[in-house]
Amino acid sequence: MPDISGKAPKGVLNRGWSASVDDYAIAGGWTRSGEALVVADAAGGIYAFDGKSGARAWACQESHDGGVLAMAIHPSGTSFATAGQDGRVLVWGVAKGQVKQTIEVGKGWVENVAWSPDGRWLAASCARQVCAYGADGSEAWRSENHPSTVSAIAWAGARELATACYGRVTFFDARSGEAGQTLAWKGSLVSMALSPDGDVVACGSQDNSVHFWRRSTGLDSMMSGYPGKPSALAFDDAGILLATSGGQVVTVWSFHGSGPEGTTPGALELHVESVTTLAFARRSMRLASGGRDGAVVVWSLKKNGEGGPIGAAIVADVVADLLWRPDGRALAALDAQGGVTAWRVG
Partner 1 sequence: MNAMQKVPVSILTGFLGSGKTTLLNRILSEEHGKRIAVIENEYGEVGIDQALVIDADEEIFEMSNGCICCTVRGDLIRVLGNLMKRRDKFDYVLVETTGLADPGPVAQTFFMDDEIRAEFSLDGIVTLVDAAHIEQQLGRSDESTEQIAFADVLVLNKTDLVDAEALDSLESRLREMNRMAQVVRSEQADVPVDTVLNLGAFNLDEVLERRPTFLEPEYPFEWTGVYLLDAGRYELSLADGPDPWMSLVVVSDQGTDDAALREGAEWCVRRYAEAAEDIHPGQAIPVGEHVNLRLESLGRKSFFLEVDAPARLGLYAQHTAEEFDLQLKDREGSTIKEEAERTWVAQHEHDDEVGSIAIEADGDLDPDLLNMWLSELLRERGVDLFRMKGFLSFRDEPLRYVFQGVHMLFDSQPDRPWGDSPRRNQLVFIGRNLDEESMRRGFEACLI
Residues that bind partner 1 (CB under 8 A): 1, 23-24, 26, 42-43, 67, 69, 85, 108-109, 111, 127, 148-149, 151, 166, 185-188, 190, 205-207, 209, 222, 227-229, 231, 273-274, 292-294, 316-318, 320, 336
Please say which residue, 51 or 87, places its beta carbon nearer to partner 1: 87
Cβ proximity to partner 1, 58 vs 185, nearer residue: 185
CA dihedral in degrees (239, 240, 246, 249; nearest 10)?
-140
Q: Which is nearer to partner 1, 127 or 174 (CB)?
A: 127
> Considering the complex, what minimum distance in angstroms separates the CB of residue 128 from partner 1?
8
User: 24 by DSSP, 3-state: which?
Assistant: coil
Our CA dihedral for 15, 19, 23, 29, rounded to 10 degrees, sits at -70
Burial of 138 (0-12, 13-18, 19+ CB in 10 A): exposed
Q: How far apart are CA 281 and CA 331, in angstroms?
A: 9
Q: Which is nearer to partner 1, 79 or 151 (CB)?
A: 151
- The rounded distance, in Å, linking the Cα atoms of 196 and 138 is 28
CA distance 124 to 103: 10
> To the nearest whole angstrom, how small is the minimum distance from the Cβ of residue 111 to partner 1?
7
Closest distance of CB 144 from partner 1, Å: 16
At its nearest, how many Å lie between partner 1 and the CB of residue 68? 10
Q: Among residues 5 and 149, whose Cβ is nearest to partner 1?
A: 149
Burial of 76 (0-12, 13-18, 19+ CB in 10 A): exposed
Question: Shortest gap between Cβ of 338 and partner 1 (angstroms)?
Answer: 11
Residues contacting 218, CB < 8 A, separation 6+ = none
Nearest residue (CB) to partner 1, 79 versus 205 = 205
Least distance (Å) from partner 1 to the CB of residue 190?
8
Answer yes or no: are the C-beta atoms of 83 and 89 closer than 8 Å: yes
Q: Which residues pair with 205 in a beta bridge?
A: 189, 209
